[in-house]
Structure 1
């Protein structure tokens, strides 16, 4: 939500106008107050407003007519209609014409503040959808991180500063918080942006496969190697290599990576000729690498090489105000000619704003894709949400990501009668990653 919005108040009664101005100013918003629809249109022609609070009964042009003009001039501006003549018919007309909501006099200030909050959430979503459509139409590459919260704005500024420093960066954050997007942002804004960005997930390879993937191999280095092949380090020379789930990198591979960072060269598998390499390493982890160092599962010397600068990717529950714009981003990103959602209902937004999102931004993207696939209209209604989110018990204590992950893996293992290959396929990971997760969560002994 926009914390300091531009709000236009249209009210012909001076006392009511002053009271509304006081309440909105006290909430931190920038307020312009006028007494007629004609004055309001003059202001709207010169300045953009996120929200208009207008009385329905105005001298000359009434509130419904003003609403129609506002939607023509500034489509994303939200309008709350106020009236002392409470009428269901009028309310329906106002909503049909595009009003966000309807409130009757005498005003309940708590209700008014809640409606203003909700309207500004909706406005942020509308603006994000329009912006994304413009970017897509113009074919421009936009910064990958989406959000307007203080946390995301601060993170973007830090990324911009780090991009030009050419030092190794360690990104810490829960699963689904956008660590790879941060890494791509660092690369995209750096002097290395014209070279390759290569990503590798350390949890998806055995040590032997990781060796070949990273360093490549020479001809006849092993059975079936009929020709030499470049590895990720060689392909990405001059660019950036992103190591996801760095804590899962086998110890023998940690030694090899450390040597690359120290010596700036490497050998292909089966090779004898040293190959020079110039790369920037950005790594990510969802666990505490310092603890891994203490436990002896991660090398201290490599940790200090990787951890020149540490960035934290905030969990979605810590910047919930970005949920509306993120939904807009994902709905636009995944829309097709036959699958399109233009509006999110207030009830749906309320449910999502109060959900804990153990899977973070990635889970929200999956929810948005699911809604597009199931929608039969253009409104994101609550019935398009997964049942477990719709029916969540809000009085139940929130669980940690580790607790949620452990519980889900247990359920999948039970459903597959302990078959790790089937379970890994259902979970969307490989068997090695599943084994490591089970070991970390203390499930290996149980099974």
Structure 2
């Protein structure tokens, strides 16, 4: 039996016996029965129930009065009302006052199970959202970077260590992994945090303009240079400059950057003198700079000057246990920014989130969640709200070019790593991290599943 629980309130003893006897095995839950509203309040004050099923017509405190009192202290409590056919208007009133649903007597048993299962899913979702929200606020949001996987905890520790130094930092990782957030975190935690932080997105600035933007120019240096312009390096004086996607800059700019690092001075265009600058350089790339060095398109000496303290950010598919936490964080953030009520994710959608390869990483996940907030009409975001197609495990586990340059043994291990992360991640998401249920679905013994999880770095806590 799961840890799901229902409190049933009805003054008819035979009804209580019947419901307890049928619902416990059919819904796989624990059922507590009481015969009055007063008794129900006593139980609610001592215990959290996933669902309260209450009759509307009862002597003394009726169901509507009970609903009002429960909602005062427990506004998110899921309550389903029971009513006779002649009291539909009263049941609708109960819905307006916060009841999740109502069920008419006499019951069709299958219909009753379906309605109650949906109500229990809603409670599980609310509970999971509260837990993830509490978790993310407590210990797993680091300067806007979210994660509690072992690999991300190492990244957080590395950021703390390099922030205290003055050395250059090179951040590597695929697009959408949070390189810009990492650079901001380094600046925010550094002794330079009181100084300016100047980000430069190198690929978006044309080469002929980038040099003047970085180093500034003197009046008359070129056509339309009608006045002196301070460059971004001067703007970043006593602070940090972040050169995003440094791999895209031209060899000419690379040479000038090397001089800035070595001499700690710049020369504006059209000027005959140099200007000293006190700037820490943090750069990033999603490219293989060593390969670009072999191709002759990136200076080797500049690479070693930039790569004094390297930080590599893992792809989202390499830390799938962080996905529920990241999704919850982004959901709360964007519900607030879009002035929408806080929603939840359906278990099916969360399972799809965990199994996807996420080629665009956190940025792609964020875009999908924003779609869900805008297009979902209910309390839960469903797969159809975000137009995600369920992937086959082959597609989820074997992204294009994944085996490039790998020997057979390493390719096989990578395949197993990604398959187990995707397959087990989906099942753990569906079971809310319940290892016993997950093992049963997988057809494995509990201990065997735990051994596989340990081998591939999966923890149940990331899905609870």
User: Normalization by structure 2: what TM-score?
Assistant: 0.61
Residue number in structure 2 paired with 1:381: 382
Q: Is the 8 A contact 1:124 1:324 kept in 2?
A: no
* SS, match of residue 222 in structure 2: coil
Does the 8 A contact of 2:170 with 2:282 survive in 1? Answer: yes
Kindly state the Cα deviation for residue 258 of structure 1 after the two structures are TM-superposed: 0.4
* 1:160-187 per-position Cα deviation (integer Å, ceiling 9, x unaligned): 1111012111111111111111111111
Residue 420 of structure 1: aligned partner: none
Of 96, 107, 110, the residue aligned with 2:119 is 96
Structure 2 match to 1:239? 239
Q: Which of the two has greater helix per residue? A: 2
Who is 1:347 aligned against?
Answer: 348
The offset of 1:75, in angstroms, is 8.8
Structure 1 residues 254 and 332, CA, compared in 2 at 3 Å: closer, same or farther? same
Q: Secondary structure at the match of 2:146?
A: coil
Give the number of aligned pairs.
323
| Cα deviation code 1:311-353 (max 9, x no counterpart) | 1100000111111221222222222465334211101111111
Give SS of 2:204's match.
coil
| Cα deviation, residue 59, structure 1 | 9.7
Q: In 1, are the aligned partners of 2:356 and 2:396 still within 8 Å (CA)?
A: no
Query: Alpha carbon RMSD of aligned pairs, Å?
Result: 3.7
Deviation at 1:276, TM superposition (A): 0.9
Secondary structure (helix, strand or coil) at the match of 2:145 reads coil
Q: Are residue 392 (structure 1) and residue 391 (structure 2) matched?
A: yes
1:242 deviates by: 1.1
1:341–1:169: structure 2 CA closer, same or farther, 3 Å change rule?
same
Matches within 5 A, 1:363-374: 363-374=364-375
8 Å contact kept, 2:352–2:390: no
Contact 1:207 1:252 in 2 (8 A): no
Contact 1:67 1:98 in 2 (8 A): no
- Pairing 1:53-202 to 2, within 5 Å after superposition: 55-57=30-32, 65=44, 66-68=47-49, 89=112, 92-93=115-116, 96=119, 100=123, 125-129=129-133, 143-202=143-202
Residue 310 (structure 1) aligns with: 310
Larger Rg: 2
**Alpha-carbon separation, structure 2, partners of 1:67 and 1:90:** 21
User: How far apart are 1:142 and its partner, in Å?
Assistant: 6.7
Deviations 1:262-316 (A, max 9, x none): 0011111111231111111111111221121122111111111101011110000
Deviations along 1:185-244, one digit per CA (max 9) or x if unpaired, are 111111111111111122223332110110011112111111111111000111111111
Q: Which stretches of structure 1, 4 residues or more, deviate above 6 A after TM superposition?
A: 7-10, 58-64, 69-78, 131-135
